[in-house]
Amino acid sequence: MSKRIGFVGVGRMGANMARRLHDLKYPVTVVYDVYEKAAEELAKEIGAEASKKLARVTELADVIFTVVSDDAAMHKIFAKNGDSLLINAKGRIFINTATISPQTHIEVGKLCEEVGAEAIEACMASSIPQARNGTLYFMLGGKQEVIKEVEPILKDMSSSMRYCGPLGSAARVKALVNMVMNINTAALAEGLGLAKALNLDLNMIREVFSQTGANSRVLQTDGEDMQNREHTCFFSAEHALKDSGIALNLAKDVGLNLPLAQATYNQYQRLVKKGFGQLDKSAISELTFPDRHGLDKD
């Protein structure tokens, strides 16, 4: 692969994606982050340049992954004025991986086309370990011929990929994935919280759940953490709130009432307002267990 690769956003996910490609001898030439120290440390580790300018990323890379936090951050890096990835971007391919609104993906795609660049979605349904070892699950959106051009890179970062449709489609699918995941997380927190209040053995409860209709992927990833109050962040409560909000906005657009999604959003909103947004989404259990700081009291 002769295409030079850049990363914009090198937090835990972006940095580990860059490390994975570096391990496979891809030319990761430049990294950028609003937290300059993060970019500098990663650049030193993998032999890339830590750029302080977005335009420099476009200059030094042919394929650029963007791994940013929200719609506002996405609009900022693709701004029409000032420092921007759009400067001299003709011929570049942007692979946008963030969980943001479908409309923002579509808008960014149009901006890229205006300057002769291309943008695709590669939304991820995985976490930090999968980013590091190349077993991400990608939901792809955009022009299929553009995806084909960067497919070898994506295959080396993932265990599976699914094409969802034109730009915006992958973001819609990802919103549904995270909506259901967040609902499952909130439901598990309530189940374990009630079990605790009933003085049931939580190890036994988790085993029973795993063998019955109460089983879920969330039980595997979050159940023990909820029990042990281990909320080291793999997917933050703050992101859970944002993503549930994206799904609710989509539902509003088509006139659907989603009471479970709304209730889950409300719970994560409470958690974030109480200052726990940077903890893992499993911290929603702090609102449901009867003996935890009284966080169930507003």
- Give the residue from 151, 167, 183 where a domain finishes: 167
Distances (CA, A) of 148 to 91, 120, 279: 15, 11, 37
pLDDT at 298 over 70: no
Q: Spell out a b/e string for 207-224, using b for 16 or more CB atoms within 10 Å of the CB, else e.
A: eebeeeeeebebbebbbe
* Residue that the structure tokens 């029990």 belong to: 227
pLDDT at position 149: 97
Q: Range of 66's domain?
A: 5-167
**Are 196 and 148 found together in one domain?**
no
Helix 202-210 / helix 169-197 crossing angle, nearest 10 deg? 140
| Residue in 90, 174, 242, 273 annotated catalytic | 174
**Are 110 and 181 found together in one domain?**
no
Report the 10 Å Cβ neighbour count for 9.
25
Residue 127 pLDDT class (50, 70, 90 cuts): confident
pLDDT at position 2: 78
Residue type at 131? A
pLDDT one-digit tens code per residue, 32-48: 999 999 999 999 999 99
**Are 157 and 188 found together in one domain?**
no
Residue 291 pLDDT class (50, 70, 90 cuts): confident
Tell which residue, 209, 208, 217, 206, has the closest CA to residue 281: 217
174 noted as active-site residue: yes
Q: What is the mean pLDDT of residues 121-125?
A: 95
- Give the residue from 148, 167, 186 where a domain finishes: 167
pLDDT at position 1: 52
pLDDT at 293 over 70: no
- Give the span between the Cα atoms of 118 and 130, in whole angstroms: 26
- Give the span between the Cα atoms of 19 and 7, in whole angstroms: 11
**Are 203 and 114 found together in one domain?**
no
297 located within any domain: no
**Are 75 and 179 found together in one domain?**
no
- Report how many domains make up the chain: 2
- Give the residue from 167, 187, 213 where a domain finishes: 167
State the CATH number of the domain containing residue 223.
Answer: 1.10.1040.10
**Are 181 and 132 found together in one domain?**
no
293 located within any domain: no
pLDDT one-digit tens code per residue, 154-189: 999 999 999 999 999 999 999 999 999 999 999 999
- Mean pLDDT for the chain overall: 95
In this structure, what token pair is assigned to residue 38? 């993060």
pLDDT at 258 over 60: yes
294 located within any domain: no
- Give the span between the Cα atoms of 100 and 123, in whole angstroms: 9
C-alpha radius of gyration, the chain, whole number: 20
pLDDT one-digit tens code per residue, 266-284: 999 999 999 999 999 999 9
Helix-strand-coil percent breakdown of the chain, rounded to 5?
Answer: 55, 15, 35
pLDDT at 236 over 70: yes
